[in-house]
Chain A
């Protein structure tokens, strides 16, 4: 089989001498090409477009920082930014909630595997379906939420129709699959917790909260890190739920940057590609803070793994 490469009559070819450099390049080439064209270069293009006034079809006019100046006085931009903050903070609740459910389900009774799957599976639903399910759940007349409230003699609420409540209603819908995701991360983490350390902790008299805080949680650190990463990214990517559940309303009160950007650049409210790109750049810069932190953490791990 391998005789062709080991024929002593001719010396190693150029390809054979440089195979340790050439092979990785060849293997990387297609993937990197795709990634560069569709991901890396567009990031820079968006930065560039944000300095122009452009309707997406005709000529683009360079207007410098005018788009960013407009953002400063744009009330809707401010609302969107605030909603992003709400999303970021409240979405993080998925982590303790997921841990709580994981602790609840980390038992070995019969049928527990099915319970774990059933608790997890909202994560597999598309955000579109989650959005629809929850907007029907919140319906003023037909919705189950108000059915339950009426049953207990309480006043009904129109969650998605109330500008003060709508964003929280959408975040609650988003927390449903996100909590499931964090739960499965923690279930896997709990599975790998060192039983000897738990026993040692028990002998030292650690119980309940103390055990959780001093013995269990430190061992769940990798799971917590991933939960944190995916939750932050998920919070800043929120788009589908808003688009499906309220379409930004009522009165624009549920917009976030990702949605507002889409509205400005691609919806019936006009094709302002430059202005949309400026919003996207702001969102990107916010994300970049987190991406930087994540990469730094991963880099630390890489250095440790090398030693």
Chain B
């Protein structure tokens, strides 16, 4: 193990390490801790210049209550759910299929198609912006959740295909061959042999895509406007103009907007990290 395990070092080194850890963490999360502290303060503290002292009263329920009951925040959150969940299902379903095709079959152009998916996944969004917006307007899906979902599914298929194809490549190929010898139809091999083995990949990818899509801001402002369809990342800017300079409410609002992906991460940590670090080890 590198660096040398701290248990093998001197007592002094161990004590130093144990004190440094929490200090380093506090430093690391300092900007976020500041926002959390803001979000439980009363408004009067800001007028009095009491930014970092003890709050004059504890307003957690009051502030967060106002976020939920006096703004469009719940609508935006719900929009985010209605955009994110179908995208996850769509992108994962499509890429299970593309990944299967590219990972199992040998045919001319296999690598070319695979690399096209990878390359497409890396392009800057701006090169797609004008035509995609135009297309969405023309098919009447501008400012709808569906318009956003369709684009997200298509774009995420690039990354998901990369992921799924590499995962399937690592599966034991003998299983598929054995099934073929038995005369099992190809689509049955996909459904009954490969798909059950892909469960960990599906879980990892779902958590990752959920986070990516929930956090998307660029496409939200390009393809939607207003509280009918906008997800919370875009909605938070209107929220902030509703409560301009009321830092206690704006802080609470942004924490609420951040909670779903954070919760998803802490609940599904193993899958999340497995997905994110795929390929980091050979």
Contact = CB atoms under 8 A, between A and B. Distances in A.
Interface of A: 2, 5-6, 19-21, 23-25, 27-28, 30-32, 34-35, 37-43, 45-46, 49, 56, 103-104, 106-109, 115, 117-122, 124-129, 132-134, 136-137, 141-144, 147, 176, 181, 184-185, 188-193, 195, 198, 211-212, 215-216, 222-223, 226, 233, 236-237, 239-240, 243-244, 257-258, 261-262, 265-266, 273, 276-277, 279-281, 283-284, 287, 290-291, 294-295, 298-299, 302, 305
Contacts of B105: 20, 23-24
Contact of B52 (A147, A236, A265, A280): A147
A125 B262 CA distance: 7
A14 to B, nearest CB: 14
B34 A129 contact: no
Interface residues on B, range: 35 or more
B68 interface: no
Interface in B17-51: 17-18, 21, 24-25, 28-32, 34-35, 38, 46, 51
Nearest to B108: A21
A119 B28 contact: yes
Nearest to B207: A124
Nearest to B51: A142
B113 A284 contact: no
Nearest to B190: A27
Given A128-B257, A287-B124, A295-B119, A121 B158 contact: no
Contact of A284 (B30, B115, B124): B124
Contacts of B32: 122, 133
B225 to A, nearest CB: 11
B24 A104 contact: yes
A19 B28 CA distance: 55
Contact of A109 (B17, B150, B281): B17
A258 B154 contact: no
Interface in B94-153: 94-95, 97-98, 100-102, 104-105, 107, 110-111, 113, 115-120, 122-135, 150-151, 153
Closest 7 CB pairs of A and B: A126-B215, A38-B154, A42-B131, A27-B101, A31-B98, A24-B101, A45-B131
Contacts, number: 295
A211 B254 CA distance: 44
A20 B51 CA distance: 68
Interface of B: 1-3, 5-7, 17-18, 21, 24-25, 28-32, 34-35, 38, 46, 51-52, 94-95, 97-98, 100-102, 104-105, 107, 110-111, 113, 115-120, 122-135, 150-151, 153-155, 157-158, 161, 169, 182-187, 190, 211, 214-218, 221-222, 233, 236-237, 240, 247, 250-251, 254-255, 257-258, 261-262, 264-266, 269, 273, 276-277, 279-282
B178 to A, nearest CB: 13
Contact of A291 (B21, B119, B221): B119
B113 A28 contact: yes
Given A121-B265, A211-B2, A40 B182 contact: no
Say what secondary structure dominates the interface of chain B.
helix
Contacts of A41: 131
A125 B261 contact: yes
B7 A108 contact: yes
B46 to A, nearest CB: 7
Contacts of B100: 27
Contact of B281 (A192, A215, A290, A295): A192
12 contacts: A6-B183, A24-B105, A28-B97, A28-B101, A126-B215, A128-B257, A129-B254, A132-B35, A184-B273, A222-B282, A239-B125, A291-B123
A43 B127 contact: yes
Given A43-B123, A45-B130, A143-B34, 18 more contacts: A6-B183, A28-B97, A39-B154, A40-B116, A46-B127, A46-B130, A49-B130, A125-B215, A125-B262, A132-B35, A188-B281, A195-B1, A222-B280, A258-B124, A258-B125, A266-B222, A284-B124, A294-B122
Contacts of B250: 132, 136
Contact of A106 (B3, B21, B135, B221): B3
A31 B126 contact: no
Contacts of A103: 2-3
Nearest to A185: B280
A31 B157 contact: yes
